[in-house]
A and B are shown apart, each in its own frame.
Chain A
Amino acid sequence: MAQESFISRTVASIPPSGIREFFDLVTTRDDVISLGVGEPDFATPWKICDAAIEALRRGVTSYTSNYGLLELREAIAEDISKRYALRYDPGSEILVTAGVSEGMDVAMRAILNSGDEVIVPEPCYVSYKPCVVLAGGRPVVVSTSADDDFRPQSSQVREVITARTKALLIGYPNNPTGAVLSRSALLQLAEIAEEHNLLVVADEIYGHLTYDGPHTCFASLPDMKPRTILLNGFSKAYAMTGWRVGYACGPAPIIEAMMRIHSYTALCSSVLAQVGAVEALHNCEAEMARMIAQYDQRRRLFIKGLNEIGLTCCQPQGTFYAFPSIKHTSLTSREFCRALLIEEGVATVPGDAFGQCGEGYIRCTYATGMDQLKEALSRMERFLSKLHRDQLSDDTRSAISVS
């Protein structure tokens, strides 16, 4: 019996994540420095853990409202209002989700009819296209390039708009490129959304992690709040990835529709994670600022180091990712990452995992200790020099030829 035949055609059409094979490779060595992770290296601030532990002690273990704890929604509304001068009603315009990942899934299912098109600039986070597909929609890719610092150009977006275009899905500051869209670039996208009556789904999970000026929230642009679903969460800024807590903000009817799906599929987010998130918003501004200052220092050191060893890389203005080019090596991204891992024990992620136009680049996370970053740079330099002099080991050579 071929069990595969039971699997839906839609699910069968979704490719597995492009980084699976690296798990297995990583376990073959014990001295790996990983620049391959998509999360902070800091532990969750202890105040947040303490608040959750105390809640557990008090027996806070029940379901919450489908929308999430009101106290958390009020804290979210206050935080957004303080940062972006943007008001959301905690009662009807905010839904607490299991991270942006669930928010994205629920948003797509709430808005898409079969065949609706969603414009997705790439490179982008790995879940965007699958979420569109699972909701019956059709992702329409806009490929960005290093020449534009990986920012989608409004002309590119206009070119792909059809009668079926329903929404524009943007994730800036961007995983994997670190690109940030300026206010004027966002205004151009807003103009397109207005002109063609599009919804904009904005994943702003890295919004706190910008280094050259504050983040512009898309929904805060003139007239954009009624057509924006803002997705955000606590994973990156508060180092809470495993807690799985985030939120969606938007017009009440859309949030209500998303809540309906969420109520049937997740019921509510983990109450302990929600309690932790309240503490994060109320009391952890200083901890967050300290982590961001550290990322910023690592960013400057690491980007300079990459450029010095010949992996050209534009200065990322947000996130904790660098996206250097490896085109001059004549290896594909996948070959380069495999070879670097086997030869020198440095794990990175091939750029094409984030879209075809990511080919020729690799993603390196600098949410890693300063000493580890320096060691990784020196290993990468050694790798490039071996590659240049054709001195790679036989193991590495065969790994490249297999891929």
Chain B
Amino acid sequence: MQQILEILEQEGPVDPQEIATRLNRPLEEVQAVVQQAEQQGILLGYRALINWEKTDTEKVYAFISVEATPEHNRGFDAIADYISRFEEVHALYLMSGLSDLTVVVEGDDFREIARFVSEKLAPVPGVRSTATSFVLKTYKTEGKTISQEPTDQRLAVSP
């Protein structure tokens, strides 16, 4: 299961027959594992990784540290669920350390994110404070380094 998921995570939707060949497993097994992973909510989807900084489209990301008041018996789950429903929220994590939650917010510009924080996020019942840090430049995302360097510098033919 782990090897199959790693291939899908690294390469996106790969033909099950190809995975079967590469891992030397029966096709049926690969298909069953993928189906099971989908049904159990392990495999959440297949998406492209895009470097928006190279396009004309403006996108701004901010990491917002949130201090929140936990609820009896539910901890931070209820407030996290509430916050995660906003469309602007790109990712949301419960953190160890100084803040309780980290909210990654996506917007068209700085003002949009500022408005979201002041008008939507900060007023959520249970949110005690927010600290917003804007992303200025992306160097590596989802395990992929964003680099202009040519990757393959080998001679074309060598013994």
> Which of chain B's residues 1-37 have a Cβ closer than 8 Å to chain A?
3, 7, 11, 18, 21-24
Asked if B156 lies at the interface with its beta carbon under 8 angstroms from chain A, I say yes
**Are B159 and A300 in contact, CB atoms less than 8 angstroms apart?**
no
Whether A26 touches B11, Cβ cut-off 8 Å, given contacts A297-B22, A301-B18, A304-B21, is no
Partner of A19, one of B18, B21, B23, B159: B159
**Are B154 and A39 in contact, CB atoms less than 8 angstroms apart?**
yes
Whether A34 touches B157, Cβ cut-off 8 Å, given contacts A297-B23, A301-B21, A370-B11, is yes
Asked if A223 lies at the interface with its beta carbon under 8 angstroms from chain B, I say no
- Shortest Cβ distance from residue A37 to the other chain B in the assembled complex, whole angstroms: 5
Q: How long is the Cα–Cα vector from A22 to B155 in the complex, in angstroms?
A: 11
- Shortest Cβ distance from residue A154 to the other chain B in the assembled complex, whole angstroms: 28
Q: Mark B92-127, 1 if CB is under 8 A from A, else 0.
A: 000000000000000000000000000000000000
Whether A26 touches B156, Cβ cut-off 8 Å, given contacts A300-B22, A304-B21, is yes
Asked if A136 lies at the interface with its beta carbon under 8 angstroms from chain B, I say no
Contacts of B159 in A (CB 8 A): 17, 19, 38, 125-127, 175, 349, 353
Whether A23 touches B23, Cβ cut-off 8 Å, given contacts A301-B18, A370-B11, is no
Whether A43 touches B151, Cβ cut-off 8 Å, given contacts A301-B18, A370-B11, is yes
Q: How long is the Cα–Cα vector from A37 to B159 in the complex, in angstroms?
A: 7
**Are B152 and A41 in contact, CB atoms less than 8 angstroms apart?**
yes
Whether A37 touches B154, Cβ cut-off 8 Å, given contacts A126-B159, A301-B22, A304-B21, is yes
Q: How long is the Cα–Cα vector from A126 to B157 in the complex, in angstroms?
A: 13
Asked if A357 lies at the interface with its beta carbon under 8 angstroms from chain B, I say no
Q: Mark A352-381, 1 if CB is under 8 A from B, else 0.
A: 010000000000000000100000000000
Q: Mark A22-57, 1 if CB is under 8 A from B, else 0.
A: 110011000010101111010100000000000000
**Are B22 and A19 in contact, CB atoms less than 8 angstroms apart?**
no
- Shortest Cβ distance from residue A16 to the other chain B in the assembled complex, whole angstroms: 11
**Are B157 and A347 in contact, CB atoms less than 8 angstroms apart?**
yes
Contacts of B22 in A (CB 8 A): 297-298, 300-301
Asked if B158 lies at the interface with its beta carbon under 8 angstroms from chain A, I say yes
> Which of chain A's residues 263-315 have a Cβ closer than 8 Å to chain B?
293, 297-298, 300-301, 304
Contacts of A22 in B (CB 8 A): 156-157
* B-to-A contact residues, CB < 8 Å: 3, 7, 11, 18, 21-24, 151-152, 154-159
The 8 closest A-B pairs by CB, nearest first: A297-B22, A36-B157, A26-B156, A34-B156, A126-B159, A22-B157, A38-B158, A37-B154
